[in-house]
Structure 1
Amino acid sequence: MTSAPESHVTTSDSVVSVKDVQKHYGALHVLKDINLNVTKGEVVVVLGPSGSGKSTLCRAINRLETIDSGEIRVGGDLLPEEGKALATLRAEVGMVFQSFNLFANKTILENVTLGPLKVRGMKKSEADALALKLLARVGVENQKDKLPSQLSGGQQQRVAIARALAMQPKVMLFDEPTSALDPEMINEVLDTMVGLAKEGMTMIVVTHEMGFARKAADRFVFMADGQIVEEATPEEFFTNAKSERAKDFLSKLITN
């Protein structure tokens, strides 16, 4: 495995730290000795073939997946196993999934304000003001009184991003956020994510969207067979991938 640049291995400004993490599903070893450090303002794109452990790693950082051993820290704090402490720390980690997971019976504004009201204890007037600001930021403020079913898939995913941002997280996790979208809707979501990256949001993104990855990522983390095989800048990865697995992955991207 190639060594990460110096700035990536220091921990003083670490937002997410994954150390010696192992995860099994029965006999299947899905995460093998994972070590990863993500610093404040960094955009890390996780790449790799299907079944490489990318989504499992992403979900483990929010403890939607448990781990067998190792440790995960967010903002220097060890990820708790359960209870109120876990809920509190989860509030620091925004998550955007393949599916939008919006509440169908609540308006767009209500979907975005729910977390700040229930978890952060924010006043309704403050939560509404924050939600409107974030909906404007992702370009759907004029949809605030509609139900999710009245929006396109791309609009719903942008609402999901606004909802995650409303918790004012330390890091945003994206797990294939455009894979459920029609092709014409993908760019509007990716443009929103590029905007977040430019604003300095710390992000870990699992994606196959190479255009976005090349434009927004500070670092690529390439996974295969449950392991981090290689880490590099986008330019280094595309022009001078070190591992045979990464070269094979890139050749299939180019062929397809």
Structure 2
Amino acid sequence: MESPRESPDVPMISMKAVNKHFGSLHVLQDIDLEVGKGQVIVVIGPSGSGKSTLCRTINRLETIDSGTIAIDGQTLPAEGRKLAQLRSDVGMVFQSFNLFAHKTIVENVMLAPMKVRKKNKGEAHAAAMKLLERVGVANQADKYPAQLSGGQQQRVAIARSLAMSPKVMLFDEPTSALDPEMINEVLSVMTDLAAEGMTMLVVTHEMGFARRAANRVVFMADGAIVEDAEPAQFFDHPTSDRAKDFLGKILHH
């Protein structure tokens, strides 16, 4: 018998009947979502539709009121060591870069592998340099975050997440704080990751990226998943009025 962790049929992310309230606001309504291994799912929708909350529940940055969330066949516990373990398998990149200002770029990337994965300094440094090379900022390794552009800092934040060898990467609007000319340098790193087979869930307004890199587009409105389809199907033939309205506003403005 294959254990669920080794079975290719077990989705990397599984959300079943997930509900979440902020006071009287029902921000996630009976969410059912599966992300297969190596899939890229792009979540889009109007502001306040619950996209970021959905992203943040997957590694328990937000608790849920009911339902279950599993990563690679393991249900997320509410707290404790088991949660910390599962969470270290889930990389997360936010709108803000959250880099440690007093540490150099390479130190930022080395930190978690040394603390959590108990790598020695030499090993962590070599691995960090490889990752900085991969995201195109190895030449900035000894600088501090404030000396880098926003696009460079976000690429470092991606390298820092990858340093933990995560099974899945969550991106919560990773380009929305960036100047337009920096957006593409971050998206190209994400496109490369997708091509390499990283399982990714990406909340974004970048429709070109959704078309190019996603296996499926999940459209949310008012806390619910309204459509879940392949990019060509979703962009060219949306089925719901809500999605047609949304696409009409963003694709033809």
Alignment map for 1:158-177 (pairs within 5 Å): 158-177=155-174
Q: Which residue of 1 aligns with 2:118?
A: 121
Does the residue aligned with 1:33 lie in a helix, a strand or coil? Answer: strand
Alignment map for 1:1-256 (pairs within 5 Å): 12-256=9-253
One-letter amino acid of the counterpart of residue 77, structure 2: P
1-structure distance, mates of 2:101, 2:30 = 39
CA-CA distance at 1:126 after TM superposition:
1.3
Does the residue aligned with 2:57 lie in a helix, a strand or coil? Answer: helix
CA-CA distance at 1:109 after TM superposition:
0.6
CA-CA distance at 1:86 after TM superposition:
1.2
8 Å contact kept, 2:88–2:166: yes
In the alignment, structure 2 segments of 5+ residues that lack a partner are: 1-6
TM-score computed with the length of structure 2 as normaliser: 0.96
Does the residue aligned with 2:49 lie in a helix, a strand or coil? Answer: coil
2-structure distance, mates of 1:141, 1:45 = 28
Q: Summarize deviations over 1:126-182 as a string: whole Å, max 9, x none.
A: 111111110000000011111000100000000000000000000000000000001
8 Å contact kept, 1:11–1:37: no
Identity %: 70
Question: Which stretch of structure 1 is more off in the superposition, 113-122 or 157-166?
Answer: 113-122
One-letter amino acid of the counterpart of residue 25, structure 1: F
8 Å contact kept, 2:8–2:37: no
CA-CA distance at 1:11 after TM superposition:
8.0
One-letter amino acid of the counterpart of residue 181, structure 2: E
CA-CA distance at 1:13 after TM superposition:
3.2
In the alignment, structure 1 segments of 5+ residues that lack a partner are: 1-9
One-letter amino acid of the counterpart of residue 180, structure 2: P
How many residues of Structure 1 are paired with residues of Structure 2 in the alignment? 247
Q: What's the Cα RMSD here? A: 1.1
8 Å contact kept, 2:51–2:203: yes
TM-score computed with the length of structure 1 as normaliser: 0.95
